[in-house]
Structure 1
Amino acid sequence: IIVFADGSEFKDHWIPRNTEERIPVVSNNISYHSNRTKSLQNDYSFERLRNDVVLFSLYTFQLNQTQLEEIADSLQACYSVQNMIIDLRNNPGGDEQVLAELLSYFISKQPVQLDSYQKVNNNGTYHSFKYATNYPEDAVLFPGFETINGRDGYYSKNHWLNRIEPNPTINYAGNLYILTGEETVSAATYFPAFLVRNHRAVTVGRETPTGYHYMTANKFVDIRLPNSGIQVRIPLVKEVFDETVNNRVPAGRGLLPDYEIPLSYEEYYISEEDIILSETLDLISEGKYLGKNPFRSQLSIILSPWVISLVVLAILTGIILSRKIVRKG
């Protein structure tokens, strides 16, 4: 019997085990769960849904060179298809070099300079490595990281995001609709984030667990606590993607979808239809795609190259005139 603070009581009634009836919580016929099963059995797939829509399901960024070449060939075959849906809902991430390569297939012009960087707490040895199981105690993992005046930690600007260029031979130019969800993490978050930041794609579904602005990843140390023997994994690198904060990418959040479809009882327990995919097809049919670029600030418009030239010219002219006036005086 449980007695609550207000004096009310709850009596638990035990049920004999042999009288239990086991009912499966979910069925694999439900689309939400069958999609997860597919993600465990495949790395990627292409499917033509309509004459104007192809579905590219990408379940990992841990791909080898042969797989990348196969994806490139499949993309070339899709050049004439107006819309592509990229499904990342059950993608746990993977290799950042694979991510960079795939991104190069979808951008046709020089991407926005994000000034992305990596930050660590130490560029020498770590005292905690005394208890590490995957690194020697004297390991130096970040010798190239340097300090920045006025900031704590050590930094590297040599970030893979700053080196992405459009692929000269493989480039899909159609509309991109990217599906995201509660299992779109790590590199799978940065893929749509990069395309959204470059006003190249819209996202449909739900917020990603991995933050938009940064994540802790790249290198991890496995520590076994000396007394309890408990083992923990600790990330060592703060990967900063973008420091821009606005209504589209608010601080402290994952990548928010352009078109949100909240998780529902129907989707999780009942529907054999892929609700998010179906909604995306409706968006395509209705012609809903990119709106106003939320990253194009007034400052970027004002400081266009020709305006900067005029400002510099005006300043120089002012200096010359002021010197002439001083001399006459």
Structure 2
Amino acid sequence: MRQIIVLQTGNPDVMQLQDVAKPEPGEGQVRLKVQAAGINFADVLAVKGQYLTPTKLPLIPGGEFAGVIDALGPGVSGFTVGQQVAALTGQGALQEYAVVPVRGLIPVPAGLDAAEAAAFPVSYYTAYITLITLGRAVSGETVLIQGAAGALGTALIQVARALDLKIIALASTDAKLKIAADLGAHTTLNSEREDIVDAVKEALGGQGVNLVVEITGGEMVQRSLRMLAPQGRLMIVGAASGEQASLNPTALMKKNLSVTGVWLTPMLGDRQMVESALAFFGPLIASGQLRPQVGPRYPLAQSAQAFQDILDRKTTGKVTIEPQR
């Protein structure tokens, strides 16, 4: 079988395609025929050696994928050969077959194809945690979403619509803003505007927003704080700029602001949260109100190009790589 391997961290061109033997599942494992891998910015950072946790080499990139169970290891029950599942494993997605521990299998709502299933877990569970579990959003509040045409941004817009929030979407091009508007954003603004703080407040009649979903980092964090209404919540989900941000505790105190970091990985151990999220998403998918936004699809041999396109901000929706192509 073919797989992508990283032997040293760096830019996407360090990713190599190689042929290896098909793995056999061990105790408590299944083998998946990988149909689609959903690529997140965290995967790009892992290849560069810049993620929250140190990159362990050699690395098979990609932690989110979907496929069909091809073989069961000893001691596995509750799953069958031929069953379609999604997996969150931290790495291992970019190969034609992957061995996955049963605990790494993630339930996804019925009715999704392989690419949609691969695009679902990280973005939609993160959106749920950001707006509901930690953000405590309630109907009628306002939320500002950065990177609104990306995988997480499109998921956040759909979840925010289901919660009856007023949505302000930021993105860097008119085409990306149109995607956000088509999904239901009430106001769209170009994130490159120098007067973005004033523009946000003007859109709200001089008021601030209740929640800001911050993915940029650096200087933008200060701007995000200035956008908030009294008792507003800043939800830090990423730092795509790679720049450090500073916080002034006094500024937080003056408006009773709160700042919350969001990281999906440890939250997935909360089974009650996972079950609540599935109960929330199931009817929305069944009714057509929510659908993972699958963006560009690449074959395995073009994995490095997919990662570079994400770095260059050329993509919208969830980038997927299809190892069987």
- TM-score normalised by L of structure 2: 0.28
| Larger radius of gyration between Structure 1 and Structure 2 | 1
Structure holding more strand per residue = 2
- TM-score normalised by L of structure 1: 0.28
